[in-house]
Amino acid sequence: MSQSERRGFRSQRCISCGIDVSGTNAARFDCPDCGHLIFRCAKCRKQSNNYECPDCGFRGP
Ligand SMILES: [Zn+2]
Ligand SMILES: [Zn+2]
């Protein structure tokens, strides 16, 4: 049995565009609904892209 994906551990990807945001000044916050850790890159933050929580489906600006 292999675990190819570990959710929420060392996974820093922009919630909107999916790029790796580790080492950048990406915004980092918890989902207001379930507390899932969410990252958003500076570019998407600037464009105010909507995000959708991968855990509970909460959508926010
Ligand atoms: Zn992004
Ligand atoms: Zn959530």
Domain layout of the chain by residue ranges: 11-47
Distance 8 CA to ligand 2 centre (A): 12
Q: So what's the pLDDT on residue 58?
A: 95
Which ligand is located closest to the Cα atom of residue 39?
1
CA of 43 to the centre of ligand 1 (A): 6
Please say whether the beta carbons of 12 and 39 come within 8 A: yes
* Mean pLDDT computed over 32-57: 91
Query: Would you place residue 48 in the very low, low, confident or very high pLDDT band (cuts 50, 70, 90)?
Result: confident
With bands split at pLDDT 50, 70 and 90, how would you rate the model's confidence at 1?
Answer: low
User: Which residues, at least 6 apart from 39, have a Cβ–Cβ distance to it below 8 Å?
Assistant: 12, 13, 14, 15, 21, 26, 27, 28
Give SS3 for 8: coil
Query: Do residues 11 and 21 lie in contact, with contact meaning Cβ atoms separated by under 8 Å?
Result: no
| Listed range (3-7, 10-14, 16-20, 39-43) with the worst mean pLDDT | 3-7
Please state the pTM of the whole predicted model.
Answer: 0.73
